[in-house]
């Protein structure tokens, strides 16, 4: 994992408090999604994407999935090492050949985590209608569980989007919560 892991063990979704800043982002932000992303992990991914804007970059998202008072929710705590496959075909071959190894690497973390989906960064990850068709095929093939999502960072439009399945099984742009620990007086920055 590239990002530090928190020992926060969620059984209920994080809510804004003196300790946590939680912002709703994306479509239907007023209602918010049931996906929680750590802001520092997203910032690292944006920086990595923009540092190589013409390259395709991928990683697996890791974290936990729980049943809360309002239904299932996930917390994306971090991601695996970024890869720069030559194309999506190379990424798919890598997943096919090493899926068990990759999944076990995520599961053996302390605390144990699940593969919650993937992140894909590059110039052509979205279209005017949403997630590019070839990326939808990858998601439906390898990340087809209800709690798995695709995080896209388009380096050509400088946009971040999250895609997940709706109740009818369509892969749509969904809202999410961006979470960060608030700085406390006298403690410097929060990490």
- What is the predicted pLDDT for the residue at 116? 93
How many Cβ atoms sit within 10 Å of the Cβ of residue 101?
8
- What is the predicted pLDDT for the residue at 186? 53
Percent of the chain whose predicted confidence (pLDDT) is above 90? 34
Domain membership flag for residue 27:
no
**CATH number, position 126:** 3.40.140.10
Domain membership flag for residue 176:
no
- What is the predicted pLDDT for the residue at 137? 93
Residues 6+ apart with CB under 8 A from 172: 27, 130, 163, 164, 165, 166
Q: Among 44-48, 64-68, 143-147, which is the least confidently predicted range?
A: 64-68
Ordered alpha helix ranges (H), 52-117: 88-107
Is the pLDDT reported for residue 29 higher than 80? no
- Looking at the structure of the chain, the number of domains it has is 1
Average pLDDT over residues 102-126: 80
Residue 125 confidence class, pLDDT cut points 50, 70, 90: confident
Domain membership flag for residue 103:
yes
Per the structure, the complete domain to which residue 133 belongs is given by 39-63+79-169
- What is the predicted pLDDT for the residue at 8? 45
- What is the predicted pLDDT for the residue at 30? 47
Residue 110 confidence class, pLDDT cut points 50, 70, 90: low
Query: What is the average pLDDT value for the chain, to the nearest integer?
Result: 81
Residue 45 sits at φ, ψ, to 5 deg, of -65, -40
Domain membership flag for residue 135:
yes
- What is the predicted pLDDT for the residue at 191? 43
Domain membership flag for residue 97:
yes
Most confident segment among 11-15, 125-129, 180-184: 180-184
- What is the predicted pLDDT for the residue at 129? 74
Percent of the chain whose predicted confidence (pLDDT) is above 70? 82
Domain membership flag for residue 54:
yes
Average pLDDT over residues 71-85: 87
Average pLDDT over residues 82-86: 91
């Amino acid at each position: 994992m590239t990002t530090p892991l928190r020992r926060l063990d969620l059984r209920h979704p994080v809510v804004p408090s003196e300790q946590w800043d939680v912002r709703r982002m994306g479509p239907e932000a007023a209602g918010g999604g049931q996906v929680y992303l750590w802001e520092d992990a997203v910032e690292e991914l944006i920086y990595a994407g923009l540092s190589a804007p013409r390259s395709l970059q991928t990683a697996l998202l890791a974290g936990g999935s729980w049943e809360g008072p309002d239904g299932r929710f996930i917390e994306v705590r971090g991601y695996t090492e970024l890869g720069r496959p030559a194309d999506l075909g190379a990424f798919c071959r890598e997943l096919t050949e090493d899926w068990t190894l990759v999944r076990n690497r995520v599961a053996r973390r302390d605390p144990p985590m699940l593969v919650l989906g993937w992140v894909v960064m590059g110039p052509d990850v979205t279209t005017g209608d949403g997630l590019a068709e070839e990326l939808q095929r990858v998601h439906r093939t390898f990340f087809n569980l209800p709690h798995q999502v695709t995080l896209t960072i388009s380096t050509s439009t400088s946009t971040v989007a999250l895609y997940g399945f709706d109740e009818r099984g369509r892969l749509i742009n969904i809202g999410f919560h961006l979470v960060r620990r608030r700085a406390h007086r006298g403690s410097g920055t929060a990490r």
